[in-house]
Amino acid sequence: MSLVNGLPAHVLLVHVVVVLIPLTALALVAGAVWPRAARRLGVLLPSLALVALVSVPLTTQAGEWLERHVDDDALVRRHTELGDGLLPWALGLFVLAAVVWWSARGPRREGRDGGAARASRLTSLPLRIVVSVLSLAVAAGAVVDTYRIGDSGAKAAWHDAYSKSAHGEDDGS
């Protein structure tokens, strides 16, 4: 994928990643820390993580195409290097989202009082704590990495490409 309606596809696809990675990270942490949220999110949690995961290599490929069509620049190279590191974070989000979803959808069973109660596959507190801590760490890493990549991309795209004062404005000198 190289162009979409005459624009480099990377410029458009990057918005998918910038929205979905933090959104997935937030949903993952909510589901891992709060089992009721995981049950309410249901299959949406791993589905969101899967779309985020697939969008990363698509955006990276489109970025590599764009890199070959712009002037060689240290800022572009830095952005490309950083961009190559997001896929493991996205994979981690997906794996943990699947674990949280799977654990939250435990089988229904009758409680002692006759009411239906949900049995969780991750019932032990230590295991829930481990999954929560891992989810928080991977979510934070993914969001920070997404920010760093986006910041480097913005610097690469916009350095020396705009005026600090609007056309026709006095710049105060």
What DSSP string runs through 115-138? Answer: SEEEPPTT-SHHHHHHHHHHHHHH
Instruction: Determine the residue type at 93.
Output: L
List pLDDT tens digits, range 14-64. 999 999 999 999 999 999 999 899 999 999 999 999 999 999 999 999 999
CA angle, residues 93, 98, 100, in degrees to nearest 5: 95
Distances (CA, A) of 80 to 45, 59, 95, 114, 116: 29, 11, 25, 58, 52
Measured distance CA(50)–CA(81) in Å, rounded? 23
pLDDT bin (cut points 50, 70, 90) of residue 116 is very low
pTM of the model: 0.84
Pull the structure tokens for residue 62: 């489109």
Q: Does residue 2 contact residue 64 with C-beta atoms inside 8 Å?
A: no
pLDDT bin (cut points 50, 70, 90) of residue 114 is very low
**Cβ neighbours, 10 Å, residue 137:** 13
Pull the structure tokens for residue 172: 């105060």
Please, is 134 exposed, middle or buried when counting C-beta atoms within 10 Å of its C-beta (0-12, 13-18, 19+)? middle
pLDDT greater than 60 at residue 113: no
